[in-house]
Amino acid sequence: MNFSFEVIKECEQTGARAGVLHTPHGDILTPVYMPVGTQATVKALTPEQVKETGAQILLSNTYHLYLRPGHELVKKADGLHTFMHWDKPILTDSGGFQVFSLGELRKLSEKGAEFQSHIDGSRHCLTPEKSVEIQEALGADIIMAFDECTHYPADYEYAKMAMERTHRWAERCKAAHTREDQALFGIVQGSMYPDLRRESAKAIAGMDFTGNAIGGLSVGEPKEMMYEMLEEMDPILPRNKPRYLMGVGTADCLLEGVARGVDMFDCVLQTRIARNGTALHPTGKIVVRNAEYAEDFTPVDDTCDCYCCKNFTRAYIRHLIKANEILAATLLSIHNIRFSVRLMERVRESIIGGTFADLKSDFLGKYKK
């Protein structure tokens, strides 16, 4: 078997679980946060720097790599792992969310999604079969079924229609999938309607994918509503398969997601806010570019073991930001990724040790959402 998932320990008070996902490019200890390398690179960092954060798996983007440099070119380079010099697992999304984000530049039909490139205005059609073809050429370890991500708020009839189309597209993706060394995950949709979420979870679970992803959340709804939808799906999705909550990565959402049975997370927030001069911290975000840190000679986070926090001060990093030096983005990206990776390491240890509920309560009691 190229892929298998085993649950090592479950939390008695919550739905949290610690597991191991076996892949062709190595084992992934869950729960896990995945840094995002949209264009086959984590912005501002080398692959070695990303590895030093403890990251176990990266996410890359089908839509962007299809448009540039093209999946056929990546295939000629012997796949993403060789092309981007990353020898650990890679996950690629289906392109569905990016097409959803194009708004008026795209048109959906049963066939797929017709859209206009944001790069040169050229026209394209991304179908379930095409999405799988692209992802197989890219060669990621884990690939996603093509889905229709609904906006928020969405009326019930539209959410139901999009969910049912997602199910039909999922069947087509499974039929098109040929590579045994790639795991195909289905995606649950249903917007913010509990009955649709339950229906979608049952349908996707019934298709027997290697893993199950949860899409259409963190699209503008209140966090409490997202947690409610996770609770609706938790008893339905198979316990013996990994669960991936797409596009979610703030510290509070990581903890709340784990408590509701989620194993895998990804988010661009860590590197995006780093490029804007902001650092993640156990008490919330620190805007290092602010004047109050001009003479602050302490680390960004004195509890952190990353390269940034072990060697540099808030004052120095603020100086880099004000001087427009790209090293600021590099250092804060290293810290922010390590912050999230380390949090998941602590969460896993607490689940195995039987103290997850205490860790969650203690962390969220200090964290400013």
Q: What angle do CA 212, 214, 219 make, to 5 degrees?
A: 165
Instruction: Tell me what pLDDT residue 67 has.
Output: 96
Q: Is the pLDDT of residue 104 over 80?
A: no
* Domain ranges, ordered by start, for the chain: 4-273
Answer yes or no: is pLDDT of 221 > 70: yes
- Position 103 scores a pLDDT of 78
| Architecture of the structural domain at 4-273 | Alpha-Beta Barrel (3.20)
284-350-237-159 Cα dihedral, nearest 10 degrees: -10
Encode pLDDT of 32-88 as tens digits: 999 999 999 999 999 999 999 999 999 999 999 999 999 999 999 999 999 999 999
When pLDDT is averaged across residues 250-271 and rounded to a whole number, the result is 98
266 has catalytic annotation: yes
Q: Is 64 helix (H, G, I), strand (E, B) or coil?
A: helix
What percentage of the chain has pLDDT greater than the value 70? 99
Mean pLDDT on 17-28: 98
CB 190 within 8 A of CB 199: yes
Other CB atoms within 10 A of residue 201 CB: 24
> Rounded mean pLDDT of 246-255?
98
What are the angstrom distances between the C-alpha of 166 and each of 184, 200, 208, 227, 231?
15, 9, 15, 22, 21
Q: Please state the rounded mean pLDDT for residues 271-294.
A: 98
Q: Is pLDDT of 369 > 70? A: no
pLDDT in tens, 110-144: 999 999 898 999 999 999 999 999 999 999 999 99
Give the residue carrying structure tokens 């996950």: 91
Strand stretches in the chain, DSSP E: 4-10, 17-23, 26-30, 32-34, 58-60, 90-92, 106-108, 113-116, 123-126, 142-144, 183-188, 211-214, 243-245, 264-266, 278-281, 284-287
Tokens standing for 18? 């610690």
C-alpha span between 37 and 58 (Å, rounded): 6
Say what the pLDDT of residue 174 is.
98
pLDDT at 105: 77
pLDDT of 275 > 80? The answer is yes
Residues 81, 58 contacting (CB under 8 angstroms): no
Kind of pairing between the strands at 58-60 and 113-116: unpaired
Q: Is the pLDDT of residue 89 over 70?
A: yes
Mind spelling out the 3-state secondary structure of 217-234?
A: CCCCCCHHHHHHHHHHHC
Indicate if the pLDDT at residue 1 is higher than 70. no
pLDDT, position 110: 97
Res 308: pLDDT: 98
Q: How confident is the model at residue 100 (pLDDT cuts 50, 70, 90)?
A: confident
The identity of residue 156, as a single letter, is Y
Q: Give pLDDT tens digits for 196-219.
A: 999 999 999 999 999 999 999 999
The pLDDT of residue 161 is: 98
Rounded distance between C-alpha atoms, residue 3 and residue 27, angstroms = 9
Q: What is the mean pLDDT of the chain?
A: 97
Q: Which of these is catalytic: 93, 141, 263, 301? A: 93
Which letter does DSSP use for residue 282 in this model? Answer: T
Q: Which of 141, 147, 263, 266 is an active site residue? A: 266
- The verdict on whether 362 is a catalytic residue reads no
Q: Residue 121 corresponds to which amino acid?
A: G
Share of the chain above pLDDT 90, in %: 95
Residue type (1 letter), 205 = A
